Amino acid sequence: MDNNIAVIGSGSWGIALAWRLWKNGENVTIWARSRESAEKLKLNREDKDKLPGVILDGSIKITDNLESALKDKDMIVITVPSVAVREVCRKMQPYLRSEDEGHQIIVNCSKGIEADTLMLMSDVILDELPGRDVAVLSGPSHAEEVGKDLPTTIVVSAFSKDTARAVQNAFMADTFRVYTSPDMLGIEIGAALKNVIALAAGVADGLGYGDNAKAALITRGIAEMSRLGAAMGGDYETFSGLSGIGDLVVTCASMHSRNRRAGILIGQGKTADEARKEIKMVVEGVNSAAAALALAKKFDVEMPIVEQVNEVLFNNKPAREAVLDLMNRDKKDENDLQGW
């Protein structure tokens, strides 16, 4: 313990992870994007809008100065929205340790796919910060519950087992169990795509379609995620784990999920933009939907749920019509790998 850790991002996930790390005995600094946000968080030690009830101890430093936040840090935890990861990493570059100054781990906690390049977040980080020791932390973990110290289990992946173990040791607690995995690509695909499937599950809820429809979307959604992940080089087994079915279930089932809540609003007749404005926080599934469809086409993978989500989000297709089209697809076997 007693690592010096910077949490880059002061949203709900950044606050929850900073609180978790502080409770574990780590020395924590939170970087906020604006001076206004930093000063408000310093004054109140709580974000009453994003994460009410999670009080940040006075020993947790809060700053909007990136150089100060990154100075002498052993670990840097990135929690900004996926669309901001490249810009933030570019700004971080001048303030990171050189090899002579000691080892430094960068932990990505942002879930998404970069729209223009179709890169996963670890690839974006390495594109801006080549040669750095990058890890990925993901799984079924709503900030609201982590901040209340409710039991949570997630998974960390890195290029080396030693790095994964170091991150595991920093975050592990009685109420925060951390597994390790070598499949960074699979974990990031699961993290990004589950948000798109959760939008679809929310749309079904908004239409009043019930539990049967949601169970079908979760099950067939994991099939789509697994197909794409395997085609891109991930392991099928990863998608039956915490960053696959685990994260998908919690995102599709909980009202903590921004993606599900946005989907409910769209199912009730609102546009994607109207839904995002009402949620008042980043809805990653909207950002990742088009990129997921582009990856499906690039790797020649069938992803009908992702296709219909894109039609509803970007081509004004009525949600009921999208569900009807899914239900009326050609007859087929459930699993192409099974023989009679």
Q: Which residues are catalytic?
A: 194
Distances (CA, A) of 296 to 62, 186, 219, 299, 309: 41, 15, 18, 5, 13
**Among 97, 225, 256, which residue's Cα sits nearest to residue 264?**
256
How far apart, in whole angstroms, are the C-alpha atoms of residue 290 and residue 40?
35
- Give the H or E element holding residue 8: strand 4-8
Structure tokens at 286: 């909207």
- Sole residue written with tokens 């290029």: 159
How far apart, in whole angstroms, are the C-alpha atoms of residue 180 and residue 165?
7
Q: What's the gap between Cα 116 and its chain centre? A: 18
Distances (CA, A) of 104 to 10, 158, 166, 171: 21, 13, 11, 16
C-alpha dihedral (328, 332, 337, 340), degrees to nearest 10: 150
Which ranges constitute the DSSP H helices of the chain? 12-23, 35-44, 66-70, 85-92, 121-128, 143-146, 161-171, 184-206, 210-232, 247-253, 258-267, 272-279, 284-298, 304-314, 319-327
Distances (CA, A) of 273 to 203, 232, 256: 15, 31, 19
**Phi and psi torsions of 322, nearest 5°:** -65, -45
Strands 152-158 and 133-138: antiparallel
Please state the length of the chain. Answer: 340
